[in-house]
Amino acid sequence: MLLSSKLIALHQLRNISYLRSIAPQNIEEKTMLNELLFKFATWLDGFQSSTNLHEAIYAYGWVEGTHVLTLTLFLGMLLVIDLRLLGVAFKELPASTLVERLDKPMMVGFVIMLISGALLFYAIPVRSTQSIWFRVKVVFILAAGINALLIRNMTRASDMSWDNDPVPPKRIRVGAAMSLGLWILVVASGRNMAYDWWDCHKEMPHFMYWAAGCVNELAAFE
């Protein structure tokens, strides 16, 4: 009985007729970006493998578990590096040595995290695309990536002259602090995706419908 109830709940997340029946009226927010994302999501949703992955008893849990574990690996390595760049820990180690030792396992975790995250999106493309939390998460990931590139450029430009200094230059410390802050926001946004607080079928301020990309063309699924 419990398993049957779980399957019904999972299917309702993909059942557009069900979502339409509980959705507020007149929530359509047509912008070019929202329409493109919606069409892309409906295209992905049309693949049977997308439905199979989402409603699989074990596969979806394995993918989700892999995503969480590799996220932990990536963030753990990143935390150590950022603490060194902030000058609050591991001061006795040259920054370049620490980065060299942790860079490969961190990137392995990052790549697997991205792949598993893409599979999770593929399993629930429409709800994810029209989720304010997913959109905020993507923005924070992009910002974190840009920040990481800026830190790399700054370290190369300085020729690592501060490599053995207990406290790196201010611009490096600011970049490390931003890195930690942005990834905390990424994790928080991803965690909130599990809840339906700001889903399109909920009553919420008009601006939120636009921000979440709520497109009232659910007939495309039928």
Confidence category of residue 78, pLDDT binned at 50, 70, 90: very high
pLDDT of residue 168: 87
- Tens of pLDDT, residue by residue over 142-164, are 999 999 999 888 887 767 778 78
pLDDT of residue 31: 72
pTM, two decimals, is 0.78
Give the whole-angstrom CA distance, residue 181 versus residue 192.
17
pLDDT of residue 35: 83
Domain ranges of the chain: 31-221
**CA nearest neighbour of 29 among 217, 214, 219:** 214
Please return the burial class of 183, using the count of CB atoms within 10 Å of its CB with bins 0-12, 13-18 and 19+. buried
pLDDT top residue among 166 and 11: 166
Helix ranges (DSSP H) in the chain: 2-12, 16-22, 32-45, 48-55, 59-86, 95-123, 125-129, 132-157, 170-192, 206-212
pLDDT top residue among 217 and 105: 105
Give the whole-angstrom CA distance, residue 203 versus residue 200.
8
Indicate if the pLDDT at residue 219 is higher than 80. no
Residues 193-217 have a mean pLDDT of 78
